[in-house]
Structures are given as structure tokens and as C-alpha cells.
């Protein structure tokens, strides 16, 4: 029994080079002299992007077409955007008084929409004509909570709603940092934010802050060893593994931060011995990730958790990554880019007869070695996913993530994870999820 538990704990989940996806530029046409600062995507088709010259664009076709829904040129500098659902969302702005963005004159720092972005209205609870504050990073935690921070070059503020935007709090964070840029919460009350120790870049180090009481109090978890850098983006690919990008306006080498214990400790790791302007950083799992930000050079990719990096020839000025599944992601910068993984070679077959209901059948054989078959039925068409999880609930493999017509289907799982490695003996769970149906069943693998 002890041996079995040890084998389960030691399972590794990552993408191999054989199953790496590809980044492709969408049909978004960049605005003149504008970087897209943020993007938010509800699913593969529906998303919004916000840029620094006052524009927000929307797509309902997965990036094939884009519609400009608001334009506040030379007045509002959009920094962040997020949506609770297809209708209700928020967009954060830099505010006024930033010395590097004098065209940003808007005293409103947060706007809301209730019709999918067609119309936007000021959220006056946080706006001020005298307090120079603004938004940078925004996290839609669930259907009621938003956590946000601002701003680059200061002052430092933390913003939060727990009732879907009915009420907001704004907490002065200048006792902890000179400015804040990004935020990431694990749970309702526990999370991190990152930023800078000094508003003047050459005098600043990066800082990581931690809270366990929903942002009421914060402690400093880490400060970088060098001057001339800011913590820019923070993301956790799993509960224990997280990354923070470090922006340097000049000088080299270039580092980033990594944790493998949930943020209790952070390690400075080398990205490049030569100069590269880093801003956006994101990982689709614990080992596969990307870095971007430079205007002349494209993104870099790692497949070993940041130990080594290589250029991939696409994606400039990248500032934000958004991950929707282990096989689907977007990133925004000079344009909008979409990441997809091709077919895995797993069989799938639809029958002629349309089922009258949704159904996930028991896999067969069960127990199995080396392969098992999973059958399911869809009463209506739409996006369908099937994930494999281990006994602790960690993702092992994505068997399916695509739009399917109504019908009956078969998939096979060969007992391998995303890295195409054989997983250990033990109990696993497979879950079918559609818009209107979710069911999970158990199976046993015996080596």
C-alpha cells in the first residue's frame, strides 16, 4: 500500500516536445503605436482586449474577426480587463498623473459593462479627481470576487469586490510597496501581489507580497537582489509552482522568480545573459511556458520549467497570457496570438443516431493495461472536454477539448500523461464536461 501511494505521488504531468502546440497570430489589426495591455477570454470564441490608447475590442469568433467597442483616444489608458460572464465585466484604467503617460487624463479608473462591452459606465466608488491612483492587474477569482492592484510607477493600491461589483474597497498599499502591477489569489482570502520598491525604476527592486485575510494585511515574501527592476506578472501553474517575470529597462543579465512550495520561498533564476525586455510570462503547466515583452525580438519558450529557453519566432511586446485549458491559450501584445494543440491521435467516432440524453459510460476494460475505452453520448452539440485526473485530483491528461456535434463517441486512453510517459498503477478519474452536463467515473490501471 505504501509503495502504491508513493507511485501516485511521484507522477509527473507535463507536455512533451512531441505534443507542443503552436502559436498563431489572430486577425486582429493592431492600432497605431499601441500595445494591447490585457485580454480576457471566456472560452475559445469570446474575448476582449484592452490597449493603451483608449480602445477595447471584442471577438466572438476566436480571433477571426474583431469589433472595436469603445475608443477613448488620448484620454483613457486601459490596463486590465475581466468578465464574470458574457455580459458583465470591468475594465481598469491607469488614471491620471503618471509621468510616462501624460495622455492618460481620465479620473475614472474603473468602468463596467452589462451588455458584453457594447456600452461602458464609470464605477464612481473608486474614482477621484484628486487621488492619483489606477489599475494594472486584475484577477476574476470567481463569479463574485475580483482582486486588482495598481499602479505601475505608483501609488500602490489594492482593490477588491466580493459581491459582484456592488461594493468595492480600495486599500492604500504604500506601506508595503511603491507600486503594484499584478495579483494572483489561490482562494477567497489567500493570495499574492507583485510590484516595485521604488517608483524610479533605476532605484527599484521587485517585491512579492502575501495575504491570508483577503487583503486586509500583507507581508513581504521576497525582494529581488538587484536594483533597476520590477516584478511584472505573477502566475501559478499549479498550487505549488509559480512564476514572476522581472522587467528591466536596461542592463543585464535578466532573471525571473520561481517557487515550488506555493510561494513560501522564491528563487531568482536566469533567463538571459544578454538584454531582453521582459513583461509577459505564462505557463500552461508546471514546465511549459513562455516569456515576452521585447518589441524587436519574439517570445521565448521553455519546456523544462525555466531551466532553458529558446526563441519561437512569433509574438512581440507580449504583456499578458490567458490559459483556458491545457491545449488552448491566448496572449496579447503588439497583436493577439492563439495557442492550440493539434490532434493527439486518440480515436474518436460519432454514430448516425442522435442520443436522447447525455451519458458517460463505464470504461472497458476496467481494470486495464495498457489501454481502455471510454464511450459517451451528447444529446446536443457544443464544446466537450474529457480530462483524466489522479486520485489526488491533479490533472494527468486532456483526452478531448473540442466542439462536437450531437452523437455517440468513443475515445481510448493509453495510460500515458501529457508528456507521453506511462503513469503508475492506481486509481484514476475521467470527467466529461459540456455546457449542460458533467459526470465523473473511476477506473483502475494495473501495470
The fold for domain 21-340 equals: Methylamine Dehydrogenase; Chain H (2.130.10)
245 near 233, Cβ under 8 Å? yes
- The correct answer on CATH 2.60.40.4070 for the domain covering 359-445 is yes
Strand partners, 191: 185, 211
Summarised one tens digit per residue, pLDDT across range 65-94 is: 999 999 999 899 999 999 999 999 999 999
| DSSP H or E segment with residue 8 | helix 2-9
Predicted pLDDT at 383: 86
User: What is the rounded distance in angstroms from the CA atom of residue 13 to the CA atom of residue 11?
Assistant: 7
Strand partners, 246: 231
**Which residues touch 111 (CB under 8 Å, ≥6 apart)?**
90, 91, 93, 120, 121, 122, 123
pLDDT over threshold 70, residue 1: no
The separation between CA 267 and the C-alpha centre of its own chain, rounded to angstroms, equals: 21
Average pLDDT over residues 179-187: 96
Lookup: cell for 205: 527592486
For the chain, the average pLDDT equals: 89
User: What is the rounded distance in angstroms from the CA atom of residue 298 to the CA atom of residue 318?
Assistant: 9
Strand partners, 291: 281, 300
pLDDT over threshold 70, residue 441: yes
pTM for this prediction: 0.74
Average pLDDT over residues 287-311: 95
Average pLDDT over residues 308-316: 94
User: What is the rounded distance in angstroms from the CA atom of residue 336 to the CA atom of residue 323?
Assistant: 13
Summarised one tens digit per residue, pLDDT across range 18-64 is: 357 899 999 998 877 779 999 999 989 999 999 999 999 999 999 99
Q: How many helices (H) and strands (E) does the chain have?
A: 1, 35
pLDDT-above-70 percentage for the chain: 92
C-alpha distances out from residue 394 to 7, 255, 281, 391, 436, Å: 14, 29, 23, 8, 23
Summarised one tens digit per residue, pLDDT across range 365-421 is: 999 998 899 999 999 888 889 999 998 888 888 888 877 888 888 888 988 887 667
pLDDT over threshold 50, residue 17: no
The separation between CA 81 and the C-alpha centre of its own chain, rounded to angstroms, equals: 13
Residue 305 — φ and ψ, nearest 5°? 70, 25
425 near 447, Cβ under 8 Å? yes
Pairing of strands 55-59, 47-51: antiparallel
231 near 213, Cβ under 8 Å? no
Predicted pLDDT at 421: 75
Nearest-5° angle of CA 253, CA 265, CA 251? 15
The dihedral region occupied by 27, where left means phi > 0, alpha psi between -120 and 50, and beta the remainder, is alpha
pLDDT over threshold 90, residue 4: no
| DSSP H or E segment with residue 2 | helix 2-9
**Which residues touch 326 (CB under 8 Å, ≥6 apart)?**
15, 284, 285, 341, 395, 398, 401, 418
Residue 274 — φ and ψ, nearest 5°? -105, 165
Task: Indicate the pLDDT class of residue 200, thresholds 50, 70 and 90.
Answer: very high
Summarised one tens digit per residue, pLDDT across range 109-151 is: 999 999 999 999 999 999 888 889 999 999 999 989 999 999 9
The dihedral region occupied by 84, where left means phi > 0, alpha psi between -120 and 50, and beta the remainder, is alpha
Task: Indicate the pLDDT class of residue 215, thresholds 50, 70 and 90.
Answer: very high
Predicted pLDDT at 351: 45
* 264: nearest Cα among 192, 213, 216: 192
User: What is the rounded distance in angstroms from the CA atom of residue 199 to the CA atom of residue 203?
Assistant: 8
Predicted pLDDT at 78: 97
What residues does each domain of the chain span? 21-340, 359-445
User: What is the rounded distance in angstroms from the CA atom of residue 34 to the CA atom of residue 382?
Assistant: 35
* 271: nearest Cα among 216, 310, 234: 310
pLDDT over threshold 50, residue 346: no
User: What is the rounded distance in angstroms from the CA atom of residue 435 to the CA atom of residue 380?
Assistant: 10
Average pLDDT over residues 262-275: 97
Lookup: cell for 24: 498563431
For the residues of 238-268, what is the DSSP string, one character each?
A: SSS-EEEEEE-SS-S-EEEEEESSTTSS-EE
Task: Indicate the pLDDT class of residue 2, thresholds 50, 70 and 90.
Answer: very low
**Which residues touch 220 (CB under 8 Å, ≥6 apart)?**
176, 207, 208, 209, 210
Predicted pLDDT at 30: 81
Amino acid at each position: 500500500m505504501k509503495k502504491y501511494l508513493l507511485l501516485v505521488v511521484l507522477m509527473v504531468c507535463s507536455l512533451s516536445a512531441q505534443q507542443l502546440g503552436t502559436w498563431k497570430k489572430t486577425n486582429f489589426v493592431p492600432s497605431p503605436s499601441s500595445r494591447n495591455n490585457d485580454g480576457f477570454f471566456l472560452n475559445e470564441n469570446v474575448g476582449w482586449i484592452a490597449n493603451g490608447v483608449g480602445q477595447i475590442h471584442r471577438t466572438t469568433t476566436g480571433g477571426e474577426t474583431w469589433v472595436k467597442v469603445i475608443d477613448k483616444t488620448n484620454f483613457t489608458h486601459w490596463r486590465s480587463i475581466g468578465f464574470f460572464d458574457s455580459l458583465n465585466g470591468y475594465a481598469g484604467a491607469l488614471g491620471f498623473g503618471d509621468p510616462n503617460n501624460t495622455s492618460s487624463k481620465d479620473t475614472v479608473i474603473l468602468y463596467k459593462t452589462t451588455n458584453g462591452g457594447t456600452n461602458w459606465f464609470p464605477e464612481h466608488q473608486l474614482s477621484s479627481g484628486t487621488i492619483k491612483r489606477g489599475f494594472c492587474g486584475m484577477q476574476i477569482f470567481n463569479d463574485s470576487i475580483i482582486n486588482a492592484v495598481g499602479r505601475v510607477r505608483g501609488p500602490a493600491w489594492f482593490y477588491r469586490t466580493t459581491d459582484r461589483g456592488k461594493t468595492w474597497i480600495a486599500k492604500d498599499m504604500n506601506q508595503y510597496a511603491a507600486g503594484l502591477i499584478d495579483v494572483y489569489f489561490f482562494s477567497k482570502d489567500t493570495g499574492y501581489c507583485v510590484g516595485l520598491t521604488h517608483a524610479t525604476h533605476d532605484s527599484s527592486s521587485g517585491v512579492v507580497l502575501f495575504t491570508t485575510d483577503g487583503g486586509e494585511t500583507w507581508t513581504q515574501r521576497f525582494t529581488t537582489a538587484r536594483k533597476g527592476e520590477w516584478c511584472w506578472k505573477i502566475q501559478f501553474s499549479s498550487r505549488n509552482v509559480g512564476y514572476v517575470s522581472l522587467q528591466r529597462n536596461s542592463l543585464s543579465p535578466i532573471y525571473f522568480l520561481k517557487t515550488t512550495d506555493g510561494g513560501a520561498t522564491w528563487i531568482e533564476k536566469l533567463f538571459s545573459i544578454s538584454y531582453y525586455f521582459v513583461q509577459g510570462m505564462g505557463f500552461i503547466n508546471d514546465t511549459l511556458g513562455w516569456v515576452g515583452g521585447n518589441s524587436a525580438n519574439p517570445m521565448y519558450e521553455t519546456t523544462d520549467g525555466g531551466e532553458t529557453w529558446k526563441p519561437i519566432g512569433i509574438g512581440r511586446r507580449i504583456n499578458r497570457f490567458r490559459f483556458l485549458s491545457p491545449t488552448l491559450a491566448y496572449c496579447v501584445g503588439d497583436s493577439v496570438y492563439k495557442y492550440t494543440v493539434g490532434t493527439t491521435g486518440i480515436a474518436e467516432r460519432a454514430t448516425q443516431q442522435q442520443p436522447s440524453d447525455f451519458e458517460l459510460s463505464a470504461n472497458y476494460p476496467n481494470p486495464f493495461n495498457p489501454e481502455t475505452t471510454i464511450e459517451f453520448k451528447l444529446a446536443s452539440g457544443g464544446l466537450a472536454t474529457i480530462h483524466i485526473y489522479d486520485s489526488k485530483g491533479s490533472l494527468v491528461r486532456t483526452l478531448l477539448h473540442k466542439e462536437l456535434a450531437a452523437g455517440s463517441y468513443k475515445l481510448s486512453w493509453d495510460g500515458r500523461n501529457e508528456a507521453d510517459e506511462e503513469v503508475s498503477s492506481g486509481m484514476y478519474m475521467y470527467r466529461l464536461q459540456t455546457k449542460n452536463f458533467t459526470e465523473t467515473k473511476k477506473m483502475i490501471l494495473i501495470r
